[in-house]
Structure formats: C-alpha cells, structure tokens
Amino acid sequence: MSADNPYIPFTAEIMKVTDETPDIKTFEINITDPDWNHKPGQFLELSLLGAGECPISISSAPIQLPTLDLSIKRAGIVTEAVHQLYPGEVVGVRGPYGRPFPMEEWRSKNLLIIGGGIGLAPLRPIIQQALCQRELYGDLTILYGARSPADLVFKEELKEWEGAPGTDVYLTVDKGGGEWDGHVGFVPAYLEELGPSPENTVAVTCGPPIMIRFVLKALEKMNFTPEQIITTLEMKMQCGVGLCGRCGLGDKYICIDGPVFSYAEILKLSPDLSALK
Amino acid sequence: MNMKFLPAASLKDWLDLLRSHGTLIAPVKEKDGFIAFRPDPDFEDITLDYQNTVRPIREFFLPHSETLFNFETVQNGFDIERNKPEEPLVIFGVRLCDACGLEALDRAFSGKYTDPYYTERRKNALIISLFCTEPHPACFCEGVQKLMTGPKGADILLYPVEGGFLADPLSEKGDKIIGESKKLFKEPDAEQLKAKDAMVEKAVGAQSCIVDFSLLPEKFKELPPSSPFWREEGEGCVSCGVCSFLCPACQCFSVQDISDGKSGKRVRCWATCQDCRFAKMAGGIDPRPEKGERHYHRLSHKFADAPARNDMIFCTGCGRCIRYCPSHHDVLETLKKFLEYEEVKP
C-alpha cells in the first residue's frame, strides 16, 4: 500500500480460479508485498480498474500466504467483472482492513461456526487456522447451509473438515433434490434442532442478514450470552478506511471498527437490529 | 496573539499581499444576484455585504467531484499516476459556520487513516473569517457550537468595526500572516475593542435556539430508526440531498471509475445519505430503505455519533438545510419535536 495514500491499489496476479457454485468463484491471488499480513475476518479492497472497487472478505487463513483466496459471488458491477478473469490476469488490491476475529481470546474454547451461502467465506479462515493449530482450540462444530446443494461452497474442503479431528460438520439446504440425501431446512431451525451447548463455546456466524437475525435469536434461546456470539456485519462500504462515511452504524464504521462485532456490541449499536435488515 | 486593526483603506493592499500566498478566493456578487466564493476575483468585485453564500467553502477542500488517480492498463498490470500538487488557497470572508465546518472535516478525514487530498489542501490553506453582524433568522451557530464567542477552524477572524476591521489571529499561521504585513495593521484603540464586544453581544442576542443539543445522544438511543416518529418525519422529503450537499460539515463520498477500457481515472464525488441508493448493497440488501430511517441516520450521525467519535457535533448552525430544503424540513423543529416525543407503548 502506498504509504501516504490509502486509496492507491497495487497489482496482484490471479493464480487459480475455482468454480464453487453457479455464481460464486474463488480466486487465488498472489500478494507480492512482503509486509502483507492479514488475520481471519479481515477484508481487502479489490480493484478492477475501469469497473471500480469493492470490499471482499479474505477467505483463506494467513498460513496460505503469499497467496490468498477471495471467494466472490457475482452480485454487482465489480464482482461481475472479476468473474470474467482467468489465471495470469491481474487485479488491484489494497488492505488488509478491518477488525479481525479475536481468535486469541478463543483459545481452549469450543468453536461453533454457523454459515449461510457465501457467508462461509469469511468464516473459512477461522476453520483453517483452528485446524492448523488444533491443540489450541476445543471442539469445532461447523453448521453450514445454502439454498440448494449446488450453492454450497468449498465442497471438497467440507468433506476434508468432516474427517478432521474433533470436528463435526452439519450441512443443510433450503431445498433438496437430485442426489442430496442430507438435511433439508433453514440454518437457524437446524441449529435449534442440533441444540449445541453454550458451555465454554464461542458461536461465530455469517450469512444473509435475515439468517443472522434468526441465528442470533436461536442462540439466545439456547442460553448463549450476547458476548459469546460473534458475527460480521455487512454495510455498504466504499473506501474501506473510515473516510467516505458510507458504512456508518452508530458511532462506528464497519470498515475500520468492524466488520467483526459481538452480538453484545451490535445490541448497543443497533438495539432494534435494523442493521440486519 | 494580539488583535490588530486593519483600516478599510488598507484592505486592498492586504489582499494583494495575501494573493502571494496562494489563490485568493473571496465572495463576489454573481449576475443572478447570488453571492458565491470565486477564485482570483478583482478587488472591486469582492463583496462583504452578504449574510452567507448559498454554497459553503467545503467544495474547495472536498470538491464535488475529483480524480483520485489516473490509470493506464499495461502488460501484466496497470500504471497509476497521482495528481500533481495544487496551488495553496487563501479564502477570505468565510463565515464562522463554514470555518467550523472545516474543523469537523479535519476530524472526519484524519482518523486511523488520513485522506491525503483533503489534508493537503487544508494544510496549505489560509482561512480568513468574517464575523456576522446580522445573522440570518435560520442561523443557530451560537446555539449549537458557541461560534460567536468561540470561533473554530479559521486562521484569522475579522470583526467589521467603524473604519475597518479588527483582525483576531486564531492560529499561529494567522498571527504570522498579520505579522508579515505589520505596516498595514495598527494597534486597536479601546473604542474599537468595545465596539467589537458590543457587536458580539448583539449577534449572540439575535440568535435563539430551541434545542438542547446535549440531550440528543440519549434520545437517539431511546427512539431507534424504526420508531413511528421517524416514519412521520420522513414524509414529504424528496430525497434530493440538498441538506447534505450544502452542509459545511458533510463528508460522505462515492467512488467510481471512468474508463475507455484501456486508460481512465478513479473519481470520487459527493454522496448523500438521503439518496435511496446510499446504503444499498450489491445484491440489493438495503438497511435504510425508508426516508425516515435515512433522516435518523443523518441526524444521529451529526448530533450523537460524531460527538462520540470525533468529539464534536457535525452541524455548524449555518441554517442552509433549513433555508434550501424544498419540502421545508427544519432541522431545529424536527429535533425539538423529537426531544418532546414520547412513544406510545402498547
């Protein structure tokens, strides 16, 4: 990053493109900046000069550096343009930005990861890091859902996680079909069905705002305290560095004070949960 | 730092000296009768006979659109070219509210990261304020910021008195500038100082403010954007954003690329939180689809969140959002009603 100008991106080459779902691709990009060091939960600003810039969660753990993954759903102008790119082409990046997940505070605790759709992308670095430092954390439970079996991301990795030590993976889809013989139903309902214990556990969730709302309610019902629940908030971000004023929520900016917040913090910032519309 | 007296006859000479510090920007009367800040005006065209300009001086520091950088696609990447440094600005005749707006933007644009474009212009600029002898009825700068008695953001404040101006250096830079043109300035006499105090007292007395701003942060917590109060408050708003675009203390901007496919530029332009697209994300999710929610956002940002984050209310009492709102929303009336509002609980 340019020392005096936070708006200037640098180039990063695309090394690999993986089709995850009909509208999600994972781009592995090469970061040449030797000082780059991100943590799970952080994001970067992705530039396609001519198309624009947008914030994208980093979906791989730091151990993968000097490359990192960006799992991108085709949803707007920039993401649409990125989807047209192939390995060998370059993108612009700047970052990493945002408050990461407080993984140091989670040591020796059980981790309950609850993801929906593309929402698994920012959670994946937690899982990768916890599996890499397995002895530092307690049980790892992953509950992940998508609209349909085809919309599940990281399909190969989900299988690997199932076989990892001390790890349980629960998958669900809103609508089954085809060869799907797994669980069918929404994530919050499946969560209640599974009824995980709040004992010595941190619940981390990310997904569509409506899913997060119901997951928060379900966790509360299961006696998780607001401090035990961590999520990432989505808000229209533009500059990523707390200057453009776009992602304000209460006296916080999502880009520099978040995107990771505990439910306790969200209740202070947005007591009526209108931030999760 | 001592106050000096500048005889009216010396104003032209002083302004000529100031022109050597950068581009002089001063209020001139346009053909259509409006007063606007214009660069490099002839002395004869400069007017000091105005309550305030329609547009604040914010645009000289945060232009309504500007290029962040130019780019060109090359093999294996892109080249980025930064903009060249600009001429320093000397802005003369700035009202207290507009100078205070810069103080707010100074805080908004320097936090964890600093905005290099704004900061560069600001660092190089000289702001010369002009005291308001006759505030407009919509003004409330004393009520919200105590500006009449504690001006902020300017380097020098001029008080128009009989035969000239009392020049009060508010910053070291301002003091230095006055010191450089010692010959033009005189020591003020007791009469002039008395006249200045009387002027301040009269101006303070001419303003009334119906809102106790200190009560607002708690109230915003109490009545969230989903409250019926805000739904009602949003009615009639046409989401034109004039309240943001004319605000001396609004910072928000939007970034986009303009390109011919090979080369182009990344530009930013003002954005208003009253626009229905302001918070809407790719994929269509919008946390603030209702006008009332957007009003809540704007006002809570200015009167509750900015004090918490930047230790300052981001409203300078200039009254422009009241004077120019096409649907006659009056921020003071709204805040007064808001403070009095009791939610009927079922």
pLDDT in tens, B151-182: 999 999 999 999 999 999 999 999 999 999 99
pLDDT at residue B345, as a whole number: 67
| Site from B105, B251, B255 to mutate, A interface, most A CB atoms within 10 angstroms | B255
Specify the 3-state DSSP secondary structure of B278: coil
Cis bond leading into A226, ω under 30°?
no
pLDDT in tens, B299-335: 999 999 999 999 999 999 999 999 999 999 999 999 9
Mean pLDDT (chain B) is 93
The H-or-E segment that residue A131 falls in is helix A124-132
CA A275 – CA A269 distance, rounded (Å): 9
| DSSP, res B304 | I
State whether A272 and B108 contact (CB < 8 Å). no
CA A3 – CA B116 distance, rounded (Å): 10
pLDDT in tens, B187-223: 999 999 999 999 999 998 888 889 999 999 999 998 8
Q: Which amino acid is at B101?
A: G
pLDDT in tens, B50-92: 889 999 999 999 999 999 999 998 888 889 988 778 899 999 9
Identify the band that residue A270 occupies on the pLDDT scale cut at 50, 70 and 90: confident
| Residue the block writes with tokens 């705002």 | A209
pLDDT at residue A271, as a whole number: 78
Calculate the alpha carbon distances from B237 to A246, B304, B326 in Å: 20, 22, 8
pLDDT at residue A253, as a whole number: 94
Q: What residues of chain A lie within 8 A of the CB of B71, using their CB?
A: 49
Q: Which residue of B has its CA nearest to A73?
A: B283
Q: What residues of chain B lie within 8 A of the CB of A5, using their CB?
A: 82, 116
Domains detected in chain A:
10-97 (2.40.30.10), 103-232 (3.40.50.80)
* DSSP codes joined into one string, B214-239: GGHHHHHHHS-TTSHHHHHHHTT---
CA dihedral (B183, B187, B191, B193) positive or negative: positive
Write the Ramachandran bin of A263: left for phi over 0, alpha for psi from -120 to 50, otherwise beta.
Answer: alpha
Q: Which residue of B has its CA nearest to A209?
A: B285
pLDDT at residue A1, as a whole number: 44
Q: Can you tell me the mean pLDDT for B135-146?
A: 91
Picking from A8, A13, A271, the nearest residue to B80 by CB comes out as A8
pLDDT in tens, A37-80: 999 999 999 999 999 999 999 999 999 999 999 999 999 999 99
